[in-house]
Amino acid sequence: MEAPYHPRFSKAVLATFTAPGTVARGVGVCLLLSTFVAVMLLAMQFHEHLALRAWHLDTLAYVGPAANSTQAEQIRLIIPSFNGHLEEFVHFMKSLACLCTDIDEIPISAVLSNQAEVELFHARLQAQSPCGSNFLNYNTSHVANNTHPKLLALENLYDILPPLLSNTSGLNHTTRDTVGVLKQHGLYKYQSIKKLSAAARYDYDYALWLDSEGLAIRPFSMRETIRAYYRDPVIWKSAMTDERQTDFMRAIMDASAGMIGRTMEEFGRRYWNVERSVKLLGFLGVSLGVGCVCTSPTGSHCFHADLVSSFMWPIEKAVINDLLALRLASAPHQTYWDRLLKTPGLPFEICVYNLFIHLRKEDTAGDPIYDKYRILQVEREVEKFNLTTALEQVSHQPGTGLLERFYLLLREPGALADVVHFTKFNRLYFQRMDDRRFTDKETILKFLKDASIAMILSSNPGIDDWIAEAQLNISVGSWKWINATTH
């Protein structure tokens, strides 16, 4: 943009140059040199700005990297993983390094089980191929040498455990190994310890708990996405019918309510909140199935367990601090960590987090931390977008929340435009889509493109190949960078 003309400044300069006397001429020369230096500095800054923007000159919606000011929100990504997800994790990190425009400003903690996993992941990351100049057929020439985000840290859970867990049964202090905790307390409590230990340890304003099977599929800003979500955060819930609610799901909710001293009767027996889909940060994915958890880098020690395969959950440091400080009147000497290990059943950390926010909204009217959250019911919201019939594609499936399989609505004939509208209206740019065979390829690609999906959970290989192919197909249009604040 051309700078506005300032007549007073121009006349002053002219007067200086025409004034009699050596001093005046000296001042004029100084002003001239100062002006020249200022112009050169501006030109250098503009050149740097162009370098940052070069990837995105095809769109006017670009928002540059956040200024390094003390008022900028502190963001962190927390990713629990293990050797069984090594390749998925490495591919995910590469996609972020290649496509997330501000990922090198954001600390990432990958929480692993022992030092052997840390060394395994480190070696694999060092061997990873770089982005190249056309990752997924985007212009990635300015990040061509990137292989993973610069602020990625591989953490041994043993090293970040809170002091109250330093003597937990199952720890191997000699080898700094935590796999024994998994065997002693089960998968769900172990995963909670991984996520909450990192959430408690580090300073941040907002963070994401992420699964290691994600994939960035277009350029986007992580900071802008998170910032926009917290302007209007939403916790989703649904009313589970008896035929859909399994004993497993009831065990999760009962134990989670018990962690904050409540029962599910207080919220309603049909209440299900593993729907943590949020504006901008997308649908929580939970799949209930059978998997193999390996406890050694070679995979030689495995046992079968029901897996909760989650993708992403936004968390707020103020809420985490409040939750971990909670003491119950029935057991005032028990800490949160005590309750986590002693509570029977399957307390799932995001269910506890969601229920806690719901509870605090009722108990602390006027608290700015909790007042900003809205609690919406899925069934009522989709009705506003003519998707009630399409929702039947999911509603008869047992053992799953509605938003956990929301992508299945694309099976409904004629529903694509309304699904896109719902997704963009709620700014759900991160989506679960772990099966590319649920409908035809053209419908899936049109949804991902038109709904401006930035990141997906996909344990089914091949969707990234589809994105790369679509980039070469001029008829489908350009998959441009999205601005999270404009939809």
Run means of pLDDT, 10 residues per run, the chain, 487 residues: 38 41 51 55 42 28 34 90 96 97 97 98 98 94 97 98 94 96 94 97 96 92 90 82 70 90 80 43 28 31 26 88 96 95 91 93 90 90 93 74 82 96 89 85 94 82 86 62 47
Would you say the C-alpha torsion 162, 166, 170, 171 has a positive or negative sign? positive
The answer to whether residues 464 and 316 touch, using CB atoms and an 8 Å cutoff, is no
Distance CA 458, CA 29 (A): 64
- The CB-side HSE value for 118 (13 A sphere, CA atoms) comes to 17
Strand, helix or coil for residue 81 = coil
The answer to whether residues 483 and 61 touch, using CB atoms and an 8 Å cutoff, is yes
Distance CA 181, CA 165 (A): 10
Record the tokens describing residue 374, joined without a space. 């809205």
The answer to whether residues 399 and 249 touch, using CB atoms and an 8 Å cutoff, is yes
Residue 389's pLDDT is: 92
Contacts made by residues 3-8, CB under 8 angstroms, sequence distance 24+: none
Question: pTM higher than 0.95, yes or no?
Answer: no
Residue 51's pLDDT is: 32
Distance CA 235, CA 276 (A): 6
Residue 120's pLDDT is: 98
Residue 9's pLDDT is: 36
Phi, psi for 156 (deg, rounded to 5): -80, 120
Task: Please name the residues in contact with 259: beta carbons below 8 A apart, sequence gap of 6 or more.
Answer: 336, 339, 340, 343, 347, 352
Residue 108's pLDDT is: 98
What length does the chain have?
487
Distance CA 45, CA 51 (A): 10
Residue 245's pLDDT is: 67
Distance CA 107, CA 447 (A): 31
Task: Please name the residues in contact with 67: beta carbons below 8 A apart, sequence gap of 6 or more.
Answer: none
Residue 418's pLDDT is: 97
Distance CA 341, CA 148 (A): 35
Strand, helix or coil for residue 225 = helix
